[in-house]
Amino acid sequence: MIGDLFNLFMSQSHFFLNLVIEHLEISLISVLLAIIVGLGLGITVSEYPRNKWILTLVNIIYTIPSIALFGFLIPIAGVGDTNAIIALTIYGLLPMVRNTYTGIKTIDPGIIEAARGMGSTDRQILFKIKVPLALPHIMSAIRNMTVMTVALTGIASFIGAGGLGVAIYRGITTNNITLVVAGSILISILALGIDFILAGVEKITAFGPSRKKFFSILKNKKLIAAVLIVILSAGAYVAYDNSTHKTIHIASKAYTEQYVLGHILEELIQDQTDYHVDLTSGISGGTSTIQGGLAQGEFDMYPEYTGVAWMTVLSNSGLYDESMFNQLNNQLKSELSETMLTPYGFENTYAIAVPKAVAEKYNLKTISDLRAVAGQLTFGAESDYFSRADGFENLTNTYGLKFKDTMDLDVSLKYDAVEQGKIDVVEVYTTDGRLYGSDLVILDDDLNFFPSYYGVTIIREESLKEYPDLLPVLNKLNGKITTEDMMRMNYEVDVEKKDPKDVAHEFLVQKGLISGR
């Protein structure tokens, strides 16, 4: 394990370094905002008792689970870093407001009266007496809040923000434990390191001579000006960099195939056009989150499936098949100003599979063949399959199946369960990498029960107009990725633990879509 970790860090040092920088950016901006806003609110609450409701409000917000808070903000702030920063800032407010308030309220009233009696204005009392005396409380809030924010930023990739959560998320969704551990370890190191630094600052700002020195440094106008200039010019550079190159924003969902497809699109566009590409992969909110991002213009395109577009994006009822492709595309255009390109070629649909031994024993070729023997077999699938519209109930009704037993299984455990003989019939998807080289046999869907799910790029019509070089390049993928290709690539990531980016690159080279380097 430790050896794996070490190798991972060495071989992907650039990837991790970028994530660390992103992680720090997101968390430190949030922390800074929370400090400024939190201090302001804390002071307001303690100076004007009628503003006490603010304290109650931030208290309530604090009880919202962080994931939910990220989710709530999607309709307002969309997906990505902005949303994450807003959510993290809001989250950081409570410790700041509460400690500022407590810090000020626990000052001996005699001290404040002394200051008042000697002729200080309210403002002078606030800044010369109250805030400095509340500083130990405030500093400890800053310290706790910063550590908390650095940790929480790990969850921010849930809504498409960058940072080390991306590694963890990718690890979870591609069944790569080493990646999960690597991301977690880096987050812990960041959090502990920052805690250590802030502990030092806390000590310096405690009463005593060092505090005076510390504040005299802060009063040094030249130093502050220098820091501001550095920050501003860095910001200006980033803004300039973004504006001079047009940037295409690609999104992808949080499972292996989507990571690979995201990288295929990314590298193809990067190789064949002058556009910048920004890939946000592993958006766990899935279709609805990405569609929200498209509507707001945060993303230009993403890999989707025809059946999902029909059912989930457009909420149509009835089953989709490929003869309805044009109808579906027209509907996407008119309702969402989005369009589908030509499908990649592979189909990732649901299927029913049985181990070869079982198939031979009962002579099973189609799903209908199961009818006679279902009473002796156990059926396994992910728990949501049992609740989905095209799921278990409809399947068994359509084919008239009565299984001996059923079993809810996590995706990653499904294949183990088959191997161990705990289940005999299993619901799979056709490009699953773990099918590749397994001894499962897919039964023919002779009643056309499963809807059709062809992989296809969905893109905003506006983006096609804005980036005219895009369409011809994207069209190079038409029909180029077979189900076998996709299954193999998934296998390479899931089982051989290859990096999705490398797998995508090899594919593009092998198909002659980009020149190999």
- List residues binding another protein (CB under 8 A): 108, 110-111, 113-121, 124, 129, 132-133, 135, 207-209, 211-212
Q: What gap in Å lies between CA 378 and CA 216, rounded to an integer?
A: 74
Report the side by side order of strands in the sheet with 440-443. Answer: 405-408, 378-381, 425-429, 350-355, 440-443
Q: Please, what is the minimum distance in Å from the beta carbon of residue 221 to another protein?
A: 15
Q: Whose Cβ is closer to another protein: residue 9's or residue 214's?
A: 214
Q: Please, what is the minimum distance in Å from the beta carbon of residue 72 to another protein?
A: 41
Q: Whose Cβ is closer to another protein: residue 203's or residue 356's?
A: 203
Q: Please, what is the minimum distance in Å from the beta carbon of residue 199 to another protein?
A: 20
Q: Please, what is the minimum distance in Å from the beta carbon of residue 118 to another protein?
A: 5
For residue 282, give the 3-state DSSP assignment.
strand
Contact indicator for 26, 81 with CB cutoff of 8 Å: yes
Closest CA to 354 of 440, 247, 451: 440
Q: Please, what is the minimum distance in Å from the beta carbon of residue 24 to another protein?
A: 32
Q: Whose Cβ is closer to another protein: residue 6's or residue 127's?
A: 127
How many angstroms separate the Cα of 158 from the Cα of each of 2, 22, 74, 191, 235? Answer: 27, 15, 11, 19, 26
Contact indicator for 197, 141 with CB cutoff of 8 Å: no
Q: Whose Cβ is closer to another protein: residue 102's or residue 398's?
A: 102
Closest CA to 482 of 515, 454, 506, 509: 454
Q: Whose Cβ is closer to another protein: residue 122's or residue 461's?
A: 122
Tokens of 454: 């062809």
Q: Please, what is the minimum distance in Å from the beta carbon of residue 120 to another protein?
A: 6
Q: Please, what is the minimum distance in Å from the beta carbon of residue 109 to another protein?
A: 10
Q: Whose Cβ is closer to another protein: residue 120's or residue 378's?
A: 120
Whole-angstrom Cα Rg for the chain: 28
Q: Please, what is the minimum distance in Å from the beta carbon of residue 250 to another protein?
A: 54
Exposure string over 382-404, b if 16+ CB within 10 A, otherwise e: beebeeeebbbeebbebbebebe
Q: Whose Cβ is closer to another protein: residue 135's or residue 409's?
A: 135
Q: What is the DSSP letter of 312?
A: I
Q: Whose Cβ is closer to another protein: residue 44's or residue 124's?
A: 124
Report the side by side order of strands in the sheet with 276-283. Answer: 276-283, 247-253, 301-305, 455-460, 338-340
Q: Please, what is the minimum distance in Å from the beta carbon of residue 161 to another protein?
A: 39
Q: CB neighbours (10 Å) of residue 68?
A: 10
- State the number of CA atoms in the 13 A half-sphere of 216 facing the CB: 5
Q: Whose Cβ is closer to another protein: residue 177's or residue 206's?
A: 206
